[in-house]
Amino acid sequence: MTDRQNSPSGEDSLIARYFKPLATDPGAFGLGDDAAILKAEGDEIVVTTDAIVEGVHFLSGDPPDTIARKALRVNLSDLAAKGATPAGFVLTLALRSAEDAWLTAFARGLKEDASHFGCPLLGGDTVSTPGPAMISITAFGRVLPGKMVHRSGAKPGDRVVVTGTIGDAALGLDILRGGDVARALGADTAAREMLVSRYRVPQPRNALAQAVRAHASAAMDVSDGLAGDLAKLCAASGVSAVIDAPGIPLSAPAATLLARGTVGIEAIVSGGDDYEILCAIPEDRFEAFARAAGIAAVAVTSIGTMIAEASVPRFFDDRGRQIALKRLSYSHF
pLDDT at 330: 64
Low-confidence residues of the chain: pLDDT under 70: 1-9, 329-333
pLDDT at 133: 95
pLDDT at 8: 53
**229 belongs to an annotated ligand binding site:** no
**224 belongs to an annotated ligand binding site:** yes
Please give the C-alpha separations between residue 301 and each of 90, 107, 294, in angstroms, as whole numbers.
Answer: 33, 35, 11
**124 belongs to an annotated ligand binding site:** yes
Q: What is the Cα–Cα distance from 289 to 281, expressed in whole angstroms?
A: 8
**151 belongs to an annotated ligand binding site:** yes
**285 belongs to an annotated ligand binding site:** no
**275 belongs to an annotated ligand binding site:** no
pLDDT at 20: 87
Q: Which domains does the chain have, with CATH numbers?
A: 10-143 (3.30.1330.10), 159-316 (3.90.650.10)
**48 belongs to an annotated ligand binding site:** yes
| Per-position b or e across 241-272, b if 16+ CB within 10 A of its CB | bbbbbeebbbbebbeebbeeebbebbbbbbbb
**174 belongs to an annotated ligand binding site:** no
**274 belongs to an annotated ligand binding site:** no
pLDDT at 22: 87
The answer to whether 138 touches 49, Cβ cutoff 8 Å, is yes
| Distance, CA of 63 to chain centre | 18
**305 belongs to an annotated ligand binding site:** no
**62 belongs to an annotated ligand binding site:** no
**330 belongs to an annotated ligand binding site:** yes
pLDDT at 331: 62
